[in-house]
Structure 1
Amino acid sequence: MADMPAILVAEEDFNRLSTLIEKQGDSDVADGLENELSRATLVPLAEMPAHVVTMNSSVRFQNTDSGKEHELTLVYPHEVGTGDGKISILAPAGSALLGLSVGESIEWPIRGRANIHLKIINVTRQG
């Protein structure tokens, strides 16, 4: 896998996500999210640049393998509901998006499938 870009994560998100990982136990998705958090630089949410993906951000991104663009809101698992327009932080692409900035790309492994390649186009912070 390619080198992972540096990421910024809000301290508040880090704390909630760390608790979520503990509740998940040993799983590939939880391990992937834990690896993401271990390389994050923590910043108070109030100081987070607007172009960085945080929890509850609406993210427009491109799957550079297919060329398709998607816009989804990154949420906690219990907030997915019908899943319409939302992606769980525990989904592989959800974990991949956290902490990235507009213009950044990431290669993310998906168990049993080819890696996905995502590029951030726009971030809208929910207020």
Structure 2
Amino acid sequence: MHATIHGERMLTDLDFSRLSKLPGHPLSPSLADLLASAEVTSSRAVPSDVVTMYSRVELVDVHTARRQTLTVCYPGDAEPAAGFISVLSPVGNSLLGLKVGDVAKWSTPSGDECAAEVAAILFQPEATGDYQT
């Protein structure tokens, strides 16, 4: 059960800092890889087409064309049934730092390979001037 990192990803300095020291949650290998390889930029400079923490994204499954809206959040705020997915989950980890048009790829707990295109960012905190979320 892991997310695969494909290509360049971007994190805000605040997301990077908070994810680097999540209390009570050891870093998964995939999150550690993301933190080690991501480009880090200031919250004020992050482009509005990049998935940051608490971004609400519209995904399109590359195999079924099914659309889904998810919000990437910290573990304590995760409510999968309501569309809030933890950044520590394979899906959440695979989305963070991607841009609109990129394809997120991850494995399910049963080993199935999944892929979905980031079709749109419906909400990004930084784009609304919220640099502290």
Q: TM-score, normalised by structure 1?
A: 0.85
- Give 3-state SS (helix, strand or coil) of 2:112's partner: strand
Query: What's 1:15 paired with?
Result: 17
Paired letter, 1:18: S
Unpaired runs of 5+ in structure 1?
Answer: none
Answer yes or no: is the 8 Å Cα contact 1:109–1:116 preserved in 2. Answer: yes
Answer yes or no: is the 8 Å Cα contact 1:5–1:106 preserved in 2. Answer: no
Unpaired runs of 5+ in structure 2?
Answer: 129-133
Residues 37 and 3 (structure 1 numbering): CA distance in 2 closer, same or farther, change over 3 Å? closer
CA RMSD of aligned residues (A): 2.2
Percent identical pairs in the alignment equals 27
CA shift, 1:58, in A, is: 0.6
CA shift, 1:111, in A, is: 4.5
Residues 2 and 97 (structure 1 numbering): CA distance in 2 closer, same or farther, change over 3 Å? closer
Paired letter, 1:19: K
1:1-127 equivalent positions in 2, closer than 5 A: 4-20=6-22, 23-25=24-26, 30-81=28-79, 83-123=81-121, 124-126=123-125, 127=128
Greater per-residue strand proportion: 1
Alignment: residue pair count: 123
Greater per-residue helix proportion: 1
Answer yes or no: is the 8 Å Cα contact 2:5–2:94 preserved in 1. Answer: no
